[in-house]
Chains A and B, each alone.
Chain A
Amino acid sequence: MPSLGTSFGRGGATTFQQDLQNSDCIVIQGSNMAECHPVGFQWVMEAKARGAKLIHVDPRYTRTSALADIHVPLRAGSDIAFLGGIVNYVLEHDKWFHDYVVNYTNAPAILNEDFQDTEDLDGVFSGLDRDKRSYDVQTWQYAGAEVQAASGQRDQEYDERVEQGHSTKEAGRGSSTGSGGSSIGGEPERDETLQHPRCVFQVLKRHYARYTPEMVEQICGVPQHLFLQVCEELTNNSGRDRTSAFVYAVGWTQHTVGVQYIRTAAILQLLLGNIGRPGGGIMALRGHASIQGSTDIPTLFNILPGYIPMPHAHKDEDLDKFIEAEAPKKGFWADMRAYTVSLLKAYWGAAATAENDFCFDYLPRLTGSHSTYETVLAQLDGTCKGYFLLGENPAVGSANNKMQRLGMANLEWLVVRDFSLIESATWWKDGPEIETGELKTADIATEVFFLPAAAHTEKNGSFTNTQRMLQWHHMAKEPDGDARSELWFMYHLGRIIREKLAASTDEMDRPLLDLTWDYPTEGSIEEPSAEAVLAEINGWDADGQPLASYEQLNEDGSTVCGCWIYCGVYADGVNQASRRKPAKEQDWIANEWGWAWPANRRILYNRASADPDGKPWSERKALVWWDEEKALWTGHDIPDFSASKSPWHRPPSGATAAEALSGIDPFVMQADGKAWLYVPAGLTDGPLPTHYEPQESPFTNPLYGQQRNPVRQVLPPKQHNRYHPSAGAAGSDVYPYVATTYRLTEHHTAGGMSRFVPYLSELQPEMFCEVSPELAAERGLEHGGWATIITARSAIETRVLVTDRMTPLTVQGRTLHQVGLPYHWGTSGYSTGDSANELAHMSLDPNVHIQEVKAMTCDIRPGRRPRGPDLVRLVETYQRRAGITEETGTGV
C-alpha cells in the first residue's frame, strides 16, 4: 500500500464501506465489487437508492456493471491514461477545489531545480540509471527541504542521510541542488498562489496536459463522449457540498505499474477535495478476510509491524542510524524510535536494553528484494531449501504456476497447512508436469508435509478487514483430529525449536532464545491464548498496565508494544475488537462495533472535512469540526488530529514530530503534514503517475518513446518464464489478444476454500473463458465448446462463454479483443480445471513486487489443448513463431 501511504500517510483505505452510502458518486475501477465484495456492495446500493451515480470502469461488463449507471469498458492496462485524462479535465476546466488543494496538499511546494519530468525526458524522470534499471531519487525532492516518506521505500537515501553525517549533508545538498535552503527539518519553499513554474501544481498541470480526451480514446479505447460523461459526473458531484468516492481492488494493483494506478486516483481525489470527508475517499478493497491485517502485522519481507521498515544490510547500522535514515522530522512518524523500541521490547523483553540497542542487531537485514517471486528463483537456484505454505496455493494462485511447482520440486522440504489437499500439496503426484513428463514423481526429492488447518470457527483471533477494522472471532469448538490453528502451529514450532536450542552457546541462536515466548495455553490441545497475543500487540507501560494510545509510547524502553498502530485495541484491559453493539443502537459510524486502527478512527485525515478555520465545508458534509467553546475538535467520527490543536495553531520554528504540525496539517503522518499530489520520496518508479504499456501489449505507447515502466521488475527470463514481443516488435501478432484474470462470486481465490465445497462448485462447475461474439467469430469459437489459450509460458483449455458482456474496443484505429479468465481452478478438488495463472509471466511492479496478471497478451483457438508432451511442443511452436528468445521483452 505504498501508493496510499506516500500520498496520505497511511497504507490503508481512507474510509470504510458503510460511508459509501454518503457518496454522491461512486467510481468503481479495478474492482468488481458486487462479485468480490457482495456484502459491502450493499452500501453502494444504499447510495444508489439515495440518488448517487454509480460508475463502473472495467474491461468486462460484470455483475457490478449490471447495477451501475455507467459502464465504461476500457483496455486492460490503460487505467493511468484514463484517470490522467480526468486529472487533465479537472485542471483544464478549473474544477479543482481551490481552498482544499492550497491548504491541505503539497500543490504549493516548489521542486528542486534539477527535477526533470517525463515531459522533458520522453517518458522517464530524472535520475534514471538504465543499467541498474533504477532511479536515483534525489532530484525528486522539494527545493529547500528534504522529506522522508511515510510509507514505501524509505531507505532510498540512506547514504546521504547517515554516512555523510547530518551537517555535512545539509551543506552538501544545499549547494548541490542550488536551492540554497536548509535540508532536513527545513520547511519546503512554497508558493500559495500556485504560479511558480516549479511548484507541484504547475508541474502536475504540464505533466497531464497531453492526457486529452483524444489521447484517452487512443490509449484506452474509450469513446470521448463516454469519457466526458464520467468527467462530468465526477466533477459535478465533488466540492463543498458533494463528495465522490473511488473503490479499487487488485484490478489496479496487479500491473507492472500498479502502485501508480492508485496514485493517480489519489491525485484526482485530492484535487477534487474528496479525502477525509464523508462519502469521499479511496476504498481499497482487500481480497481475503485479513489481508489488511497481514500488511499491518506483515507477512511481507520488507516491513515490520505497523509499517516500520525492515532494516537493510548497511555496514554498522545501529538503531540511531536506522532512525536517522528512515524517520522524518515532522508528523507522527517522527516518533518512529518510540514505536521501534517498543516493538523490540515486545520481541525480546528483558533482554532488550538501552545498552544493547534494544537488540536492534537481532533483526534480520535485507540484501535486496525477497518477495515470493525471488523466493521461487532461489528455490530453483537451490539456495532456498525449505518452504512453509500457510493458507497459500501458489501452484494455482501465483503467476506462472509451472515456475512455482518447479521451484517446489527443488526443495528439501515443504510444509503445507490447509483445509484440503490443494494443488500445492499434491503437484508431485498429479501436477501438470507429471502429465507432460517434465517431472517424474520418483525423481522428486522434496519431502512434503501436509498439516490440516483449523477453520476460523475453531480458533480465537481477529480479522482486520478491508477498512482497517479488527473484529474478534471466538472458538465455537476445538478443531477435529490433527487440525490446528496457525497460532498453535507457530507457537509450538517456536517452543520446540527453542527447547532444542536451549543448550546452544552459538551467538546466532540468541535472537531465538531471547524471544519472549511465554503465551499461556488453553484447553486439551494447548491452544495459545490469542487474547494474550492481542494484549502484547496493544502493549503495556512500565507498570504492566495496558496502553490506550500510541502517543504513550516511549523511546527509553519503558513501554512494550507489538504493533504501534494497533495500540488501543486492548485499552483498559478490554478486548475492543470483540465489541458488538448493534448498528441500530448507534449512529452510522458505529464506532462501538469492533475497533479500527488508528485509535478507532473510521475516516482517516478527517480534519480535512473542515475548512482551514475548522468549520465543516458544508452542513451536508460535516464530519468533525473545531468547537470554539470547548477548544476541542469534535464531531461524528473520532478526530484524526490532536484534539486540542486549534485550527490557527502555527508551530514555533524548530519544533519536531507532532509538535511541528500546524492547525491546517490534516495529514498527520506526513513529513510536511500535507497530502502529496507529487511524491518526492518513497516510490521507486516516479513522483507522478505516467501511463506505460504493460509488459506485454499489442500497442505502442502514444504518449512517449518510453514503452514500458523502465524500472519494472523483470525477473530473469528462465526457460519457463519467457516474455512476449510487444507492439512494434516482430512476432507480437502471434499473441494478438489481451487476457485479464479475475474472480467470480462463487469461488474464492485459488479455490482451496471453494472448489472442494459441493455447494459452491455446482454454481460454477468448470473453468471457462469469456469472449465477445466478434472474437468467437474471428477465431471460430463455439459457445459452450472448448478453447485453448496460449502464451509463451503454457497453454490451458477452458469452456467458452460467448457473451455480449465482452466488447471489442477500438484502440489506435484497430479492433482489440480481450479474453476474460477466472483464475480459481486447478487439478484437485470437486470441481477441477486448468489454472489461468499457468499463462502468466513474472514481470512485477517495482514497489510491491506484484505480478501483472491483469493485462497480458495471448492467443486463443478452438478445441481442447494437447495432452502430455504435445502440450510442451505447442507452447514451443508458438515461441518459435514469435521469435522469442531470453532477451525478448526484457529491455528497459
Chain B
Amino acid sequence: MSLDLPRAMRKALYDDTDPAAVSGHEDHPPRMGFFTDTSVCIGCKACEVACKEWNHVPEDGLVFTGMSYDNTQGLGADTWRHVAFIEQRKPIARQEPGVQHDVPAGQSSDLRWLMASDVCKHCTHAACLDVCPTGSLFRTEFGTVVVQEDVCNGCGYCIPACPYGVIDQREGDGRAWKCTLCYDRLTVGMEPACAKACPTDSIQFGPLDELRERAGRRVEQLVEAGVTDARLYGHDPDDGVGGDGAFFLLLDEPEVYGLPPDPVVTTRDLPAMWKHVGVAAATLVAGVAAAFVGGGRR
C-alpha cells in the first residue's frame, strides 16, 4: 500500500505523524481521533442523534430502506455518523445464534449481525483539504479536518477528492458539510458528542497514539477469544492516506461495511504530475529558447 513517491519526497510534502505541525500549528495539542470498535456496537444510533442534535444537522427524509435496521444509508452532508447493519450467514467466533433456516445444501444456517458506526476519517493526507480553493477546509491544531461553513463557496471540488465519499454538498444550500470531530467541543476540553453518547464505548475518543495502542491490544484479545475475523482499518500510517484520524476495528472485509479496501489520497499523484508538468514546461522553454537561439544564429 506504499505510495509510488519516494519516502523522502512524501515526507517533504506531508508529515506522516504530525499533520497539525505541517499545517503550521506550533505547540499544538496531541493529534486527537476516534477508534470505533465495532465488536461492541449495539446499533443504538445514539451517535447519529447526538451528532445531529449538537451540530444542528438537518433531518434528511423518512425512507424505509429494508436494509436491515439501516434507514440512514450512508454518510453525507446531512449524516455525519452512520450506523451500518449487516446481516450475514456467517458465525462470530463461538457464538451460537440458535436460528434454524432451510438453507440449500452446503450453505450455513449461521447468523451474525454486524453493526458499525462510520464517520469522516480525518485523513493524515486529506485530499479534500488539498483541493479546497477557498481555505474553507483546514487542519485544526488537533490534527482534524474541518470545513468552515462561512467560508465554503460550494465549488464542490472536495467531493470527488474524498477517497471515502464522506464530504457532500447539502441540497438547497450548495455548501460542503461533514463531521468536524466536534471542533467546538474539543476547543473547550469536551469529547465529541457521538463518543459522549455511545453507551458501550464502541466510539472511543482520545489521542490517536493511545487509541492505536489500545486498538492493537483489543484485536489481539479478540483473536485470542476466537474472533479471528477481527482486524483494524485505517490505523496504518503507511496506508494510502497516511493513516486515518478516525479508524476502526472491523469483523469482516471493509467492503462489507461499504468502506474502500485500499483508499488512496486522490491528490497522491499531484507532485508527480507537477514534476511532469515541470519537465514538460522546461522542455517547452528549452525548445523555445533553442528556437530563439537557433533563430539568432540565422
Contact = CB atoms under 8 A, between A and B. Distances in A.
**Bound pair: A and B?**
yes
Interface residues of B, number: 40
B255 interface: no
Contact of A38 (B46, B95, B102): B46
A551 interface: no
Contacts of B106: none
B236 interface: no
Contact of B115 (A63, A744, A746): A63
Interface stretch (A309-317, A562-570, A756-764): A756-764
B71 interface: yes
B22 interface: no
Contact of B95 (A70, A760, A804): A70
Given A774-B102, A804-B101, A810-B100, A63 B42 contact: yes
Main secondary structure, interface of B, reads loop
B64 to A, nearest CB: 4
Scoring A69, A763, A765, A809 by chain B CB atoms within 10 A of each residue's CB, the highest score goes to: A763
A42 interface: yes
A810 B87 CA distance: 23
Contacts of A809: 100
Contacts of A64: 42
A645 B40 CA distance: 45
Interface in A761-812: 761-766, 768, 772-774, 783-784, 799, 801, 803-805, 807-810
Contact of B98 (A35, A799, A807): A807
B42 A41 contact: yes
Interface string B71-108: 11000000000000001010000111111111000000
B8 interface: no
A35 B46 CA distance: 11
B45 A70 contact: no
Given A42-B201, A763-B72, A805 B45 contact: no
Contact of B89 (A70, A746, A762, A804): A804
A837 to B, nearest CB: 21
A289 interface: no
Nearest to B110: A804
A73 B99 contact: yes
A768 B60 CA distance: 20
A687 to B, nearest CB: 33
A766 B53 CA distance: 22
Given A61-B99, A764-B69, A805-B87, A34 B44 contact: yes
A763 B59 CA distance: 10
Given A39-B199, A70-B95, A807 B68 contact: no
B12 interface: no
Contacts of A808: 100-102
A66 interface: yes
A223 B115 CA distance: 28
A807 B101 CA distance: 6
Interface string A45-72: 1000000000000000101111111111
A762 B96 contact: no
B43 A66 contact: yes
A768 B71 CA distance: 12
Scoring A71, A804, A831 by chain B CB atoms within 10 A of each residue's CB, the highest score goes to: A804
Interface string A722-750: 00000000000000000000001110000
A226 interface: yes
Interface in B111-161: 111-115
Contact of B101 (A69, A745, A758, A772): A772
A229 interface: yes
A762 B64 CA distance: 9
A71 B72 CA distance: 27
Contacts of A805: 87, 99, 111, 113
B172 to A, nearest CB: 16
A653 B11 CA distance: 89
A61 B111 contact: yes
B96 A71 contact: yes
A220 to B, nearest CB: 11
Contacts of A759: 48-49, 52-53, 59
Contacts of A746: 45
A78 to B, nearest CB: 14
B295 interface: no
Nearest to B40: A45
B200 A42 contact: yes
B252 to A, nearest CB: 14
B62 interface: yes
Given A61-B97, A804-B111, A762 B66 contact: no
Interface residues of A, number: 51
Given A801-B66, A803-B87, A63 B113 contact: yes
A68 B112 CA distance: 10
Contacts of A762: 59-63, 71-72
B42 A226 contact: no
Contact of A763 (B71, B111, B113, B114): B71
A73 B97 CA distance: 8
A38 to B, nearest CB: 4
Given A42-B200, A66-B113, A799 B42 contact: no
A64 B199 CA distance: 14
A38 B100 CA distance: 28
Nearest to B93: A69
A763 B45 contact: yes
Contacts of A773: 101-102
A766 B113 contact: no
A66 B99 CA distance: 12
Contacts of A744: 69
A673 B12 CA distance: 78
B42 A764 contact: no
B53 to A, nearest CB: 7
A784 B48 CA distance: 23
Interface in B155-194: none
Scoring B61, B72, B95 by chain A CB atoms within 10 A of each residue's CB, the highest score goes to: B95
A765 B62 contact: yes
B187 to A, nearest CB: 23
Interface in A62-97: 63-73
Interface in A802-854: 803-805, 807-810, 830-831
B98 A70 contact: yes
B78 to A, nearest CB: 10
A65 B112 CA distance: 9
Scoring A39, A67, A746, A765 by chain B CB atoms within 10 A of each residue's CB, the highest score goes to: A67
A742 to B, nearest CB: 13
Contacts of A45: 40, 42, 200-201
Contacts of A772: 101
Contacts of A65: 97-98, 113
Nearest to B111: A804
Contacts of A774: 101-102
6 contacts: A63-B42, A63-B113, A226-B98, A758-B59, A762-B63, A766-B62
Given A66-B112, A759-B49, A763-B71, 17 more contacts: A39-B199, A41-B42, A42-B201, A45-B40, A45-B201, A61-B99, A63-B44, A226-B98, A745-B44, A759-B53, A763-B72, A768-B64, A784-B64, A799-B66, A801-B68, A807-B100, A808-B100
Interface of A: 34-35, 38-39, 41-42, 45, 61, 63-73, 223, 226, 229, 744-746, 758-766, 768, 772-774, 783-784, 799, 801, 803-805, 807-810, 830-831
Closest 8 CB pairs of A and B: A765-B62, A758-B59, A784-B66, A807-B99, A66-B113, A38-B44, A766-B64, A34-B42
